[in-house]
Amino acid sequence: MSLALLPNLITVCRCGFAFIVGGLILWDGRGSWLPLLAFAVVAATDFLDGWLARRLNAVSKIGAFLDPVADKLLVGISLLALSYLEDWTLVITIPTVAILTRDTIATGLRLFPSVDMPVSQLAKWKTAVEMVGIAALLAAAPSSLSVMWPFGLVLIWIAAALSVYTLGLYLGAILADEKRPR
């Protein structure tokens, strides 16, 4: 196997491991560090695959597409599992739905060849806030730190607001491009 394939292989593995993280959250999300550890490892590989792609001069279109998909799978599956564990209470379900809706629309738009929608810096920050928020939510039960759950929820709500805002930016840019004379 060529080393140039390694970043994309890691990204594809991240997609699959997102489902394992979700399963661990459902299986033992309230009393064990294991879901948090698994989430943290998969989240950390987000940096690794990008770094390797640049380092090995192996940046590819498929990698550029799959990298945010892997992030969205990890975040979405984790948030859905946490929402399920919380009996779909609105305090976590509302931001989960906002984030999943935005991510689904943004990913769908990227499937159209005529739509040029690179990932914005603000969207990268949104993903970081999501990951830290989910990590805090996963740390709340096993750590018995009462501040972790509200801290995680605040971050998830901030991420939801950023989700709606960045989707608006993307849609605005697409509409402006459609109106531009060619």
Could you state, in chain order, the average pLDDT of each consecutive group of 10 residues for the chain (182 residues)? 86 96 90 93 92 90 90 97 95 98 92 78 94 95 84 98 94 79 64
Total domain count, the chain: 1
Query: What is the spatial distance between Cα 17 and Cα 29, in angstroms, rounded to a whole number?
Result: 16
Q: What is the CATH number of the domain that holds 38?
A: 1.20.120.1760
The answer to whether the predicted template modeling score (pTM) of the entire model surpasses 0.85 is yes
Domain that holds residue 66: 3-179
pLDDT at 180: 66
